[in-house]
Amino acid sequence: MKVGIIRGPFFNKWEMQTFEFVPELGINVVGIVPKEHFYNIQGIKFPIIETHQLSYLNKIPYLKLYIQKKLNLDYFLKGFNKIVKDMDLLHTAETYHIFTYQAIKSGKPTIVTIWENIPFNYHKKPFLKIIKSTFQNAKHFIAITNRAKESLIIEGVSEDKISVIPCGVNIQTFAPKTKNTKLLKLLNIPENSKIILFIGRLVWEKGIYSLIYAFYKLLKSHKNLILIIVGNGTERTNINNLVLKLGIHKNIRFLRNVAYEKTPDLYNIADIMVVPSIPTHFWTEQFGFVFIEAMACGTPVISTWSGSIPEVVKHEYSGILVPPMNFMKLADAINRLLNEDLNIWSKNAREYAINNFNSKKIAEKIVETYKKIV
């Protein structure tokens, strides 16, 4: 069986680490990727076919905006039917993407992975035609969380067409390791420091302000505390200004871009991973790869009761969940872990990741689904 994996420009290493185990189970997988993809995908361990997407032709700004916002054609893949002609099954993502519509219209059996966990969030122009076609013609849906499954059911998808299979993490790559002293030195962090790690977009809904306020409060009682912030986003300048205003810049390290292969070292120098996500009207945390990566490295997680996070982080076992937008509760949770035996939390986090998010086991479940469809 030959399966085409389609994610448009969102094709990435973190999701594909699970699909790298699929060929070991007797299934040939091929990534179908636009040349204009968003992430570095070098080193993925299965074949990739590159093509162009329609946005490649859009050199006129207003035309590009019209094609993207009004027609939803920006991610249309050129030569798609020719590329997939010898494939037995296509595996795409989300009901509203134009490349999902292309997969459906190619006539090949199509499975759609669903991250979206807010019912009817995209049921509006220009997405509605694509969504209706996907609901009617997709052979199966893989929801990465129960919340995503329930959203699909509310939208009208039959429950027997949905499997819940979470994302996976390579538990050999992301595993507990000795702290990288060279990295500590590079970041000018004393070895006796306690380190909090944030990895994510620097946007309001990721709770970055809540974390800064909580960190400011914690520094009064934990002088050797360091916060590493990894990421970029629209709030970067405002966060920099806030850090300077609060006078805590000496205890914070900003890293804008870190290669995915280097992130295990970051998790392993950190004592706690903190991403206090905040739900909005249009978005709630859909999964959170950083949570399973951190837990696989034995780093306990602190986050919020938001979106699908409670399905990923086991409260009071692999980490602690607090109410969103509550920096006081967030500070209390961090303080609690800093004052407890972190080795116990670390062991629990690693165990939970192995039992629930081992990418090799997740790949086996995906292959079972493939065989049912074809």
**CB distance 306 to 277 below 8 Å:** yes
121 shares a domain with 189: no
Q: What is the per-residue pLDDT for 62?
A: 58
- The average pLDDT across 199-219 equals 97
118 domain-assigned: yes
Tell me the pLDDT tens digit for each residue of 335-356: 999 999 999 999 999 999 999 9
Q: DSSP string covering 278-318, please?
A: ---SS------HHHHHHHHTT--EEEES-TTHHHHS-BTTT
328 and 243 housed in the same domain? yes
pLDDT for res 58: 60
Q: Are residues 351 and 368 in the same domain?
A: no
Q: Do 139 and 228 lie in a common domain?
A: no
Domain that holds residue 345: 181-356
Question: Residue 162 has what DSSP assignment?
Answer: E
Look at residue 65 and tell me whether its pLDDT is greater than 60.
Answer: no
Query: Are 208 and 319 members of one domain?
Result: yes
State the angle between helix axes of 327-339 and 208-218 in degrees (0 to 180), rounded to the nearest 10.
Answer: 50
Note the pLDDT of residue 54.
80
**Residues 362, 301 share a domain:** no
| Amino acid in the structure at residue 257 | N
Q: Is residue 173 in a domain?
A: no
Residue 53: DSSP 8-state? B
pLDDT 10s digits, 309-334: 999 999 999 999 999 999 999 999 99
On the question of pLDDT at 186 being above 90, the answer is: yes
Q: Within a domain: residue 259?
A: yes
SS3 329: helix
User: What does the radius of gyration of the chain's CA atoms come to, in whole angstroms?
Assistant: 21
* pTM listed for this prediction: 0.94
Predicted pLDDT at 330: 98
pLDDT reading at 286 higher than 90: yes
Q: Give the three-class secondary structure for 270.
A: coil
Tokens of 296: 């696989």
Q: What is the pLDDT of residues 79-134, one digit of tens each?
A: 999 999 999 999 999 999 999 999 999 999 999 999 999 999 999 888 999 999 99
Tell me: do 275 and 205 sit in the same domain: yes
Tell whether 318 is covered by a domain.
yes
Task: Tell whether 149 and 191 lie within a shared domain.
Answer: no
Longest dimension (CA), the chain: 63
Number of domains within the chain: 2
Average pLDDT over the chain, rounded to an integer: 95
Q: Smallest Cα–Cα separation from 338: which of 217, 246, 229, 207?
A: 217
Mean pLDDT of 260-265: 96
